[in-house]
């Protein structure tokens, strides 16, 4: 990149909103993965209009733009790979613009932290359900880019189920507003749906209009422990078939449980094969209670060794603390991990877990498994030590085998993280060449100069 | 169209699957609107492969293809307007291919009647919720093409919320399969979402993989009658804000109620300004009861003159019979009607109803208003006599004013019927030129020869 472009950026959006010292650039070279990609410049626009100006400059100079929120992504979608270019970081666009109580909607800038949005609406007894584990350090714009999920999405749906409208900057710098405060809309193509989950490759999202629901006033949580993972999986189906839709239905395997217990000393039984955390919620306490009791009965009928009900908020908080501590706790077993988010048909959970164990045994590296079992969305975490080159190599090989295992049982690569850079080599195996061809055509139609997050999602054409 | 193409169609998919006599063509020249468009030939393929062969022939000869199910559409999307060409009618692809009990999914051919699909899964205690009023005479393929809704969509979501995968024939005849039996999937762009609601303009849907939910075992229904439509609207918001999500929350205005009573003699009070039909459902009888009782209390707190609870299935059936009889009952007031499906922010229901009444008064033709108030999705029906040319003219003018009223309060043109031919002139007013430009680019990328349902959704370029 020539210094002329930086000069023009400085003139366009002001010195305070442009970073280009090596130290500053280094900060924006990473995300939640091992990937590293150095941008040429970082811009921190404060308005949609500024984003538009940056895109016009980028289009004129054919400079890649990589949109970014808090950089918590798990697929390297917001790292300036492989091309460098402009990191367009939206964290300064962090205003909640309007909470419409009558229509139960909220309009926010893309850089708002998801948890901040949630607290703001909860004060008014509304609820924004999607709860990616990163909710305290990820932005709603990033959530929209990846169509993020989370434990509560079993009952409540994912980010895209809440998007009513978007303000986006297109590849030529034009500003497009989609949608409005209506729940239903079939007027033309569903651009909200197309843009959500497109990982910044079709347009840059600067504002989001979201629908809200009423805040559930009661929640009940239970922990069911199993001697057999197949029994735990069977329980998941039995609960859903019975017409109970828990807010969350989380699975943890023995490796994950052992890690938590070692780190937290919570009194979890570490000899169990699997545990389920089940939560029901709603506005009527009796109903919530009846549902968790019915779920607990189903656990017992399906072979649970024990079912413990959280008796109060403190006990409930502990169960969720355990679930949320898995990722940090894994660090006690190995210095590094690669966490994936394969999604399989629910019935295939036992088989895919068996396949993951075989992969682990074959390569001699542990895989901890946990995730949103109700959605079939599992997080196999390969544990290794990056300093040992053979482990790093093995781990990379294992990732490929994890994806192959998911596809073999009718699953897919990603339920909530997106493709980014990391899953590109596996995309054709998952979708086939024709789907990729169609998607490339859409990309080409909307971003003919290929300046919006190039090198993401799609495999290089030369690549096998 | 030359007879050579008909000959090739006969050779390709067999004599029994091709119609071209004037009498046969006439049958396929209409849908649920006043529009009329004569095709040159009708093909009734029995397999996806046959659809592909027809599309290849159409592409080679640049012949428009208009996909069609039962022709119950309300926007002329399946009428061979303005170009003639091939009607591709999918009613012979009417097989339920697989019900997967473990994963709660069903795979069907596009020509399956929605109600048939529903009965088949309900026998196994599953539930396919979307319930367009046409469910007994519309196909799932048509529902997908329009992203159809219905009363139950308040709680359960619309057609698109159930689409896990599609088999589609692309504009060049290639067959693409999207999705799989997973609830979550962010691997690449959301083609399911893009294709659903695209009204046959991007691809032809031949098979659909749908997710199912558990069949609710109990339902309770109440009728609340109001002296003020504003009070009825306020109740809708109050119920939802209280965290109650009824399966349905239907509004009927005085004109609609009077029509029903005149036709059905059900003892409805015809001097009320508006009525709500509220239904709660679920798998736990106590919960369903508590919810309807809570909803009834909220009706009373918000000014309902009376709230009547259906005491048994017969009374419940009667309430729904009343709701469903609106359309035929309107025929007693006037021989013809134009039914729209505007969708507005919930808070704007009173204002838009006021505007609709003004339109009615100004032109001297009645407008009956009913619809899915919980979604803000209203069906204003303009009542007139087509034989009187001045009324026909007035009605057409009023349609434009109805759309303008919806847009003026922040609403949109269509919540469930689609754009088809009928709403094309209003699209730019609703979406703006930039959105249409982007959508045209997608259309152009996927159907460069413009053979898939041409002349639908998008206004003619020369048109104002």
Question: A366-390: per-residue pLDDT in tens?
Answer: 999 999 999 999 999 999 999 999 9
**Cβ <8 Å between B442 and A445:** yes
- Chain A hits for B422, CB-CB cut-off 8 Å, are none
Place of tokens 């430009």: B437
What is the predicted pLDDT for the residue at A441? 98
- Which chain A residue lies closest to B349 (C-alpha atoms)? A103
Pairing between β-strand B86-89 and β-strand B41-43 as defined by DSSP bridges: parallel
- Chain A hits for B413, CB-CB cut-off 8 Å, are 187
Of B176, B189, B432, the CB nearest to A198: B189
Of B101, B191, B347, the CB nearest to A438: B191
How far is residue A7's CA from residue A17's CA, in Å, rounded to a whole number? Answer: 12
Across A49-58, average pLDDT = 98
Distance of alpha carbon B118 from the chain centroid: 16
Q: 147-186 in A: which are within 8 Å (CB) of B?
A: 147, 149, 153, 157-158, 160-161, 170, 174, 176-178, 180-186
What is the pLDDT of chain B when averaged over all its residues?
Answer: 95
**Cβ <8 Å between A147 and B188:** no
CA distance B431 to chain A (A): 8
How many beta carbons lie within 10 A of that of residue A15, not counting itself?
A: 9
**pLDDT band (50, 70, 90) for residue A462:** low
Architecture of the structural domain at A216-329: 2-Layer Sandwich (3.30)
Query: Is B193 touching A (CB cutoff 8 A)?
Result: yes
What is the predicted pLDDT for the residue at A82? 85
**Cβ <8 Å between A181 and B377:** no
Contact, B376 vs B349, CB < 8 A?
Answer: yes
How far is residue A417's CA from residue A423's CA, in Å, rounded to a whole number? Answer: 10
Of B190, B216, B414, the CB nearest to A187: B414
B96-214 placed in CATH 2.60.40.10: no
DSSP three-state, residue A128? coil
B3-89 placed in CATH 3.30.43.10: yes
What is the predicted pLDDT for the residue at B178? 98
Q: 302-321 in A: which are within 8 Å (CB) of B?
A: none
Query: Is B445 touching A (CB cutoff 8 A)?
Result: yes
- Chain B hits for A240, CB-CB cut-off 8 Å, are 104, 214
pLDDT digits (tens, 9 = 90+) for A137-166: 999 999 999 999 999 999 999 999 999 999
Comparing A216-329 with A334-418, is the CATH topology the same?
yes
Is the pLDDT score of B57 beyond 60?
yes
Reported CATH class of domain B334-418? alpha beta
Query: Is A187 touching B (CB cutoff 8 A)?
Result: yes
What is the pLDDT of chain A when averaged over all its residues?
Answer: 95
What is the Cα gyration radius of chain B? 22
Of B186, B194, B240, the CB nearest to A194: B194
Structure token pair of residue A296: 């607990």
How far is residue B137's CA from residue B153's CA, in Å, rounded to a whole number? Answer: 18
Suggest the residue from A179, A189, A213 to mutate for an interface test with chain B (most B CBs closer than 10 A). Answer: A189
- DSSP letter for B190, please: -
Query: Is A102 touching B (CB cutoff 8 A)?
Result: yes
- Chain A hits for B237, CB-CB cut-off 8 Å, are 102
What is the predicted pLDDT for the residue at B267? 86
Of A189, A344, A439, the CB nearest to B189: A439
- Chain B hits for A415, CB-CB cut-off 8 Å, are 182, 184-186
How far is residue B202's CA from residue B169's CA, in Å, rounded to a whole number? Answer: 9
Residues sharing a CB contact under 8 Å with residue A423, sequence separation 6 or more, in sequence order: A75, A403, A413, A414, B187
Query: Is B425 touching A (CB cutoff 8 A)?
Result: no
What is the predicted pLDDT for the residue at A463? 41
Query: Is B256 touching A (CB cutoff 8 A)?
Result: no
Is the pLDDT score of B127 beyond 50?
yes
Suggest the residue from A187, A209, A414, A429 to mutate for an interface test with chain B (most B CBs closer than 10 A). Answer: A187
pLDDT digits (tens, 9 = 90+) for A424-441: 999 999 999 999 999 999
Helices (H) and strands (E) in chain B, counts: 15, 18
- Where are the domains positioned within chain A? 3-89, 96-214, 216-329, 334-418
Across A197-201, average pLDDT = 98
**Cβ <8 Å between B190 and A441:** no
């Amino acid at each position: 990149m020539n210094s002329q472009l930086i000069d023009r950026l400085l003139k366009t959006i002001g010195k305070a909103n442009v970073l280009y010292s090596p130290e500053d650039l280094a900060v924006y070279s990473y995300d939640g993965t091992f990937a590293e990609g150095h941008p040429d410049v970082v811009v921190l626009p404060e308005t949609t209009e500024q984003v538009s100006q940056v895109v016009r400059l980028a289009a004129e100079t054919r400079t890649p733009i990589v949109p970014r929120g808090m950089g918590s992504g798990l697929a390297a979608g917001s790292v300036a790979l492989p091309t460098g270019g402009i990191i367009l970081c939206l964290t300064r666009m962090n205003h909640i613009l309007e909470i419409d109580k009558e229509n139960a909607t909220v309009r926010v800038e893309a850089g708002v932290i998801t948890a901040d949005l949630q607290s703001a609406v909860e004060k008014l007894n509304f609820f924004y359900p999607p709860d990616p584990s990163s909710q305290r350090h990820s932005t709603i714009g990033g959530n929209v880019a990846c169509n993020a999920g989370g434990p509560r999405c079993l009952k409540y749906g994912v980010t895209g189920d809440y998007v009513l409208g978007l303000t986006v900057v297109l590849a030529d710098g034009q500003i497009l507003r989609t949608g409005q405060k209506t729940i239903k809309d079939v007027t033309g193509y569903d651009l909200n749906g197309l843009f959500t989950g497109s990982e910044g490759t079709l347009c840059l999202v600067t504002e989001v209009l979201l629908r809200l629901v009423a805040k559930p006033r009661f929640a009940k949580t239970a922990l069911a422990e199993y001697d057999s993972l197949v029994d735990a999986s069977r329980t998941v189906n039995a609960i859903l078939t019975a017409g109970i839709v828990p807010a969350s239905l989380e699975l943890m395997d023995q490796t994950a449980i052992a890690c938590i217990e070692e780190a937290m000393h919570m009194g979890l039984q570490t000899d169990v094969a699997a545990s389920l955390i089940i939560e029901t919620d709603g506005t009527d306490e009796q109903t919530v209670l009846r549902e968790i009791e019915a779920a607990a009965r189903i656990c017992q009928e399906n072979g649970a060794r024990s079912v413990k009900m959280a008796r109060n908020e403190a006990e409930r908080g502990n169960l969720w603390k355990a679930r949320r501590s898995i990722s940090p706790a894994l660090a006690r077993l190995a210095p590094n991990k690669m966490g994936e988010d394969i999604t399989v048909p629910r019935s295939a959970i036992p088989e895919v877990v068996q396949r993951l164990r075989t992969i682990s045994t074959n390569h001699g590296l542990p895989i901890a498994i946990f995730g949103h079992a109700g959605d079939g969305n599992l997080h196999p975490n390969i544990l290794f030590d990056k300093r040992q080159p053979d482990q790093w190599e093995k781990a990379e090989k294992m990732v490929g085998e994890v994806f192959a295992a998911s596809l073999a049982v009718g699953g897919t690569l990603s339920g909530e993280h997106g493709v980014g850079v990391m899953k590109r080599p596996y995309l054709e195996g998952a979708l086939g060449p024709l789907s990729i061809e169609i998607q490339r055509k859409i990309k080409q139609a909307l971003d003919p100069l290929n300046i919006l997050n190039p090198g993401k999602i799609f495999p290089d054409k030369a690549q096998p």
